[in-house]
Structures are given as C-alpha cells and as structure tokens.
Structure 1
C-alpha cells in the first residue's frame, strides 16, 4: 500500500457552486498529480449545502484513481483529523468516502 497523501482543499468559497468550481480548478489538478498514492482530501466544515458536491467529487476521484484510494475528511486540523487519516491509512478497503471529524450531520458536511 502506498503512503497516505493529504491534499488541502480548505479555504474554498462559502457558496456551494463557487466552492465546487474552485475545487475543480485548484484541487483536482493536485489530486491528479498525486496519482499512484492513496489520498485524503481535507475539507473545512461547511453546512449541508456542500454535502452533495463533496460526496460526488470524492466518489468520482476515487473511481478515477483506482486501485489507489481517495477519501475526503471534513473537520478542523488537529488530532481528530490525524486520527481519521491514520485510520484511512490502515483501512485498505475504504475509498470514495467523505468522513467528518466532529460536529453533527445537520451542521457540517
């Protein structure tokens, strides 16, 4: 298994369509450059309006990167994000998932 590479997708615009556009322009090329590695894409927390595009992009990037894995992690940088990334590094069957580190599902995506 390859090392888990963290891709920073934090600091995207607040509006969902603008955030999705910025993600595709800024982050997708970085993900493609990291081909051959398992990836964890780090997102800031956002409200439920971002959930759909985030899930869709993580799922599609995981399909494109197979057999390598791509997952999303939403949360504040720190121990919880580190723990989720450690879990993902040790869980070879997990791919295409968007995981959150704290908060609750109605307040974060």
Structure 2
C-alpha cells in the first residue's frame, strides 16, 4: 500500500489554536486511515509550534503502530514529494518530523 498523505495546512498562527485545530480536524482523518503508513503534511511555522507538533506526531505514531506515521513540514512540491518517496521506502522510520529545504 502506498504512503497516504494527509494535508494539515492552513492551521492558525498561534500554537495553541493550531494545536486545537490539528486535533479537531486532522487527528480524525489520521484515525480513519488505520492500517496505512501516513505522512502528515504541515506548513512551515516558527519554533513556538515545535513542541505540540512533535508530541502529536509521536503519539499518533504510537497509536498507528505497526504502521508508520511521520510529518513533512514545507510547501507542496518536489522537496515534499522527495521526502514522501523516501518515507514510502524506509520501513523503519516513524514518529519523525522532516523539514524540507524550501520550508523557510
């Protein structure tokens, strides 16, 4: 089965609001993909978002095991596609956040 991409873009600018929106909108989408390896696609955000993102991806990955779940931070495009292709072929990688070069 190919890697499932779940788009988690256009979240609010403030960390608490972004985390709340992620949990209400994106977590249910992730759970509906039970049994699939997943890449959650996020927009770039400043460092204030790092903690909630890391915690959410790690917990979702634990819940999804033995399937894999990772995040790719950066705009859609070649870099995002390259990271997703890597993840699709890397069976031991899970619970990680990857930032593309074009994310800044």
Q: TM-score, normalised to structure 2's length? A: 0.97
**1:102 Cα offset (Å):** 1.5
Q: What is the CA–CA distance in structure 2 between the aligned matches of 1:12 and 1:71, rounded to whole Å?
A: 18
Q: Number of residue pairs matched?
A: 104
> What does residue range 1-109 of structure 1 map to in structure 2 within 5 Å?
2-102=1-101
CA shift digits 1:40-71 (9 cap, x unpaired): 00000000000000010000000000000000
Residue segments in structure 2 that go unaligned for 5+ positions in a row: none
Kindly indicate which of the two structures has a greater share of residues assigned to helix: 2
Residue segments in structure 1 that go unaligned for 5+ positions in a row: none
Q: What is the CA–CA distance in structure 1 between the aligned matches of 2:22 and 2:10, rounded to whole Å?
A: 10
CA shift digits 1:4-55 (9 cap, x unpaired): 0000000000000000000000000000000010000000000000000001
Q: Would you identify which runs of 4 or more consecutive aligned residues in structure 1 move more than 6 Å?
A: none
RMSD of equivalent CA atoms = 1.1
Q: What is the CA–CA distance in structure 1 between the aligned matches of 2:46 and 2:78, rounded to whole Å?
A: 22
Q: TM-score, normalised to structure 1's length? A: 0.92
Contact 2:7/2:42 (8 A) holds in 1: yes
